[in-house]
Amino acid sequence: FNSRGEPQDMSCYRLGGSISYTFPEGSVIPGSGFLVVARSPVDLQSAYNIFGVLGPYTSTLPNSKGTVRLLSQAGGVLLEVNYDANPPWPSSADGAGHSLVLARPSYGEDNGLAWAPSDSVGGSPGKLDPITPDPLRNVVINEFLAQSDPPLLSFIELFNRGSQALDVSGCSLSDDPTANKFWLPPGTIIHGRGFLSFDQTQLGFVLKSSGGTIYFRNAGGTRVLDAIGYEGRQNGVSFGRVPDGEPALRPLAARTAGRANSAPRLADIVINEILYAPVSLNDDEQFVELYNRGTNAIDLGGWKFLTGVNFTFPIHTILQPDAYLVVACNASRMLTNYPNLNATNLVGNFSGTLSHKGERLALAMVEPWITTNNLGSITTNLIYPVVNEVTYGTGGRWNRLVSRRRSRRATWTTDRKSTRLTPVTDQ
């Protein structure tokens, strides 16, 4: 999209990252206009009744995560988008038919918060994405419980954020991006600020504890009204919006199917301090500190970081109450730099590095997941429910300091998509 008023000559500019394409000579984007590049230009023009589609580009856009870059004739990176299927990127664009639309460009093209799912399935190539009024957009997936031990049943709860009653007959719920599995029966009304809950016996499918995505579609199948992608979930712990209908989803202290959600579940083990940009400019000095704010010792053996860095805690890694554990990029260097560290409060080395630009850092526990097939054969796998996470940044409310810390006595919710930590100036 050319956001300026005058035309832009794109001759010999390139698309890179997960795909590759060079704009031919004479390629021009008119002022406030669009250029569409497709994997199959002829098919796209036929499907959308549009003209002038360029391509084909080589390779394909990966369905889970990928990169699209706009490069100058000299190869300089002008724009870059590293899209993903995980929050804050919209789940409905991951296989359910919606495209990603740059809805909030002030965040910057490479920020998931800048993107929204297209108004309808299929997107809107070659034109501005419309915004179609639909009262059903007020209905969201508000709470769910994934597979748990009997007699608990997995369930999905819907909540109407608006004040008017809505008819949701024919809308569907599913854990499959390409197939609707449960249609809400005729005459199904959800009252203003009201709830509807359906358990696995009604739904006809069971949400997997190992992770997945839940889709709530309109009756015509033209729009995913809401979609939630989730990672491994702890046995018996539901996941929901706090407060009801708000964007943030967290593990809940109590299951509340069909009624207002409880307070968030507070984890004993929290990410307490992050050093992602050492003053020495040596990433070997990066570390993550954990703190046990509970009253019991916890064995972290088998726990691991799912995002940010790669590290699995050795067996019998015990973190005592009111104690700290540092996870180092380079444990030997940490022992040299910090005399208070030793074999009881330091582990490492993690692989990868903490991003200097900010990223999501998620700590997960290990839990067995037992399944039984139709023949009665029992299989035990391991899943990794997220215990605590933080998405840190370098701008806005995040000061440009090299270390950020939570007060151990603070009263805050730990399991949130974006958490502000208090800066520490002493090193």
- Measure the CA–CA gap between 2 and 396, rounded to whole angstroms: 27
417 pLDDT more than 90:
no
Ranking 178-187, 235-244, 331-340, 373-382 by mean pLDDT, the lowest is: 373-382
128-182: per-residue pLDDT in tens? Answer: 999 999 999 999 999 999 978 889 999 999 999 999 999 999 999 999 999 999 9
Strands of the sheet with 386-391, listed across from one edge: 304-307, 360-364, 386-391
Query: What would you measure as the largest C-alpha separation in the chain, in angstroms?
Result: 69
pLDDT bracket for residue 195 (50, 70, 90):
very high
Provide the CA 271 distance to its chain's centre, in angstroms. Answer: 18
Residue 362 burial (CB < 10 Å; 0-12/13-18/19+)? Answer: buried
Q: What is the mean pLDDT of residues 351-380?
A: 84
Structure tokens at 29: 């984007």
Q: What's the whole-number average pLDDT of the chain? A: 91
- Structural contact between residues 88 and 108, judged by C-beta atoms closer than 8 angstroms: no
- Measure the CA–CA gap between 62 and 71, rounded to whole angstroms: 20
94-110: per-residue pLDDT in tens? Answer: 989 999 999 999 988 99
Residue 154 burial (CB < 10 Å; 0-12/13-18/19+)? Answer: buried
Ranking 140-144, 356-360, 369-373 by mean pLDDT, the lowest is: 369-373
Q: Are strands 346-348 and 195-199 parallel, antiparallel or unpaired?
A: unpaired
Region of 70 (left: φ > 0; alpha: ψ -120 to 50; beta: rest) is beta
250-286: per-residue pLDDT in tens? Answer: 999 999 999 999 999 999 999 999 999 999 999 999 9
**Residues present in the chain in total:** 427
**Which pLDDT score, from 0 to 100, does residue 381 have?**
83
pLDDT bracket for residue 402 (50, 70, 90):
very low
Entry pTM? 0.87
- Measure the CA–CA gap between 222 and 130, rounded to whole angstroms: 14
- Structural contact between residues 61 and 82, judged by C-beta atoms closer than 8 angstroms: no
- Structural contact between residues 98 and 105, judged by C-beta atoms closer than 8 angstroms: no
Beta bridge partners of 176: 179
